[in-house]
Amino acid sequence: MTQDYVALLGTKGGPAIRPGSSLPTSNLLCLNGQRIVVDCALGVTKGLIDQGMQLRDLSLIFISHLHSDHYLELGPLIHTAWTAGLKSGVVIYGPDGLGTYWDGFLASMKADIDLRIMDEGRPDLRDLVTIHVIDAGDVMQQDGITVSAIRTAHPPLVDTFAFSFKTDQTHVVISGDTAPIKALEDFARGADLLIHEAMLEAALPALLSRIGNGSDKLMAHWLRSHTFAHDAAKTATAAGVKRLALSHLIPSDDPDYGPQDWQDAVAGHWDGPLIVGQDGIKIAL
């Protein structure tokens, strides 16, 4: 059996990409030989290929919430997998509203899908996908993997989730997008790995200026809906997790800030192993 691991495919917070930028949030978990995709931002398809995954083997996807930097490439990923030989079912777990996105994607690609069915003999893509709307609590139990969810604090959205993935030997928690919440401490208690979103406080004014078409509303969103790195570190310490990985980094593409700044931000709040997320990094479990 393949060793369990997590691959951070995209580690940038927010949907925009610029020259030299990393890609928005996507992850690949390999647990008990089962590949699980968590969030599907721009670049997820190439990220999976770069990890050596055959797209025709795509079968299980979790979406944490309906912000574009978490599900923009969901449809293109599944369609590309279909053109790469996918013929078995893909199950998606995510918030209410995901079905509307999928129906809209199918409608936008109807001419291509119908043509490929008729001209190339492919199975009907519309028959291959099943979407389960999730809520807090137990989400899935399959192949020795138990998945549960809690709601996070990511206003103005309500259906935003953190995920816990457990096997007999491994426990991984992904925070999703969230302000600091006490509930995440209990949810991640003793986890082998906590992947937590993180912001650098000092870098936010320059980021707002660089984005160029935001306003004070964007800054207010960051402050009420996301977590500073030092607060992510506090959560990891309170939860007693074994390792902390920072991802969904805000910012991830400012040349004035690098890995040492993230390490400095958690210093004094976390003294365990720290992984500062980079696109494509693989974390053995």
Residue 271 has pLDDT above 80, yes or no: yes
Residue 55 has pLDDT above 70, yes or no: yes
Residue 205 pLDDT level (bands cut at 50, 70, 90) = confident
**Averaged pLDDT, 145-158:** 97
**Averaged pLDDT, 74-103:** 98
Residue 133 pLDDT level (bands cut at 50, 70, 90) = very high
DSSP string, the chain: -PPPEEEEEE-BSSS---TT---B-EEEEEETTEEEEEEE-TTHHHHHHHTT--GGG--EEE---SSHHHHTTHHHHHHHHHHTT--S-EEEEE-TTHHHHHHHHHHHTHHHHHHHHHHH-PPPGGGTEEEEE--SEEEEEETTEEEEEEE---TT-S--EEEEEE-SS-EEEE--S-S--THHHHHTTT-SEEEEEEE-GGGHHHHHHHH-S--HHHHHHHHHHS-BHHHHHHHHHHHT-S-EEEEEEESSS-TT--HHHHHHHHTTT--S-EEE--TTEEEE-
Whole-number pLDDT of residue 67:
98
Residue 103 has pLDDT above 80, yes or no: yes
Whole-number pLDDT of residue 128:
98
Whole-number pLDDT of residue 150:
98
**Mean per-residue pLDDT of the chain:** 95
